[in-house]
Amino acid sequence: MENYVIEKLLDRKEIEGRIVQVAAQIDQDYRGENPIIAVVLKGGFVFAADLVRDIHTPFNVDFVGASSYKGTKSSGDIKITKDLDNPIGGRHVILVEDIVDTGLTLFNLKKLLEQRNPLSVKIATLLLKDIDRPFDLPVDYYAFKIPDKFVVGFGLDYNEMHRGLPYVGYLKAI
Ligand code: 5GP
Ligand code: MG
């Protein structure tokens, strides 16, 4: 897309309000469990930064980068571009993502991490696209369900741009 404007979908206040609620849910579910908050790079970093400041039960933070090979049907087709720094065996893990679209990336990443014998792997995402997902991926926490449009801001990019926008908007060609 060459010329476009960004139409606001979710504003900062609205997003921050929901993140507080998601954090409260996580707080309640993980009290005393010391989970690992595993931020999925790059897009998850903005949501995660807000989320962790509203979680009051103790946790650790780690980062993981992954990309899926789309167009193939077989699961397990995932490339870890940056692995977690610490072992997750015997720990609860919460994967923090910017958006779940088809769910392919998280489906594969979750499967791979489960081979390391964590106590559990759950998913927290800022945005959940309202589509029929071809993968059976339970999304445990989400802040917003959004229509099937390409969105940017709050960590999400278009060609590595717009990650810092303090709101979520969709691209509209002009
Ligand atoms: P999946 O289809 O595997 O759920 O999505 C994988 C990745 O594609 C997401 O983590 C995100 O980085 C990217 N993605 C999916 N939908 C969108 C979107 O609407 N906007 C942006 N900027 N990235 C998206
Ligand atoms: Mg992503």
Per-residue pLDDT band at 136 (split at 50, 70, 90): confident
Token readout for 139 is: 């999304």
Cα 45 to averaged position of ligand 2 atoms, centre (Å): 10
Distance CA 59, CA 57 (A): 7
β-strands 168-173, 4-10 pairing: antiparallel
pLDDT of residue 72: 45
**Residue 105 belongs to what H/E stretch?**
helix 104-114
pLDDT for 70 equals 56
CB neighbourhood size of 64 (10 A): 22
pLDDT at 123 over 70: yes
| Average pLDDT, integer, range 118-126 | 98
Predicted pLDDT at 69? 62
Q: What pLDDT is attached to residue 74?
A: 47
Residue 167: band (very low, low, confident or very high) from pLDDT cuts 50, 70, 90: very high
- 54 catalytic? Reply is no
Q: How many CA atoms lie less than 13 Å away from 109 in the CB half-sphere?
A: 29
Indicate if ligand 1 lies below 6 Å from the C-beta of 123: no
For residue 78, count other CB atoms closer than 10 A to its CB.
19
Condensed to tens digits (0 to 9), the pLDDT of residues 50-105 reads 999 999 999 999 999 998 765 444 455 788 999 999 999 999 999 999 999 989 88
Q: Quick one: pLDDT at residue 77?
A: 74
Residues 6+ apart with CB under 8 A from 50: 15, 16, 19
Q: Is 27 in the pocket of ligand 1 (CB under 6 A)?
A: no
Which candidate, 169, 157, 158, places its Cα nearest to that of 41?
157
The reply to whether ligand 1 has any atom less than 6 angstroms from the CB of 125 is: no
Residues 34-50, mean pLDDT to the nearest whole number: 97
Among 57, 19, 62, 71, smallest CA distance to 37 is for 62
Taking the CA atoms of 117, 23, 107 and 70 in sequence, report the sign of the dihedral they define: negative
Q: Provide the pLDDT for residue 76.
A: 53
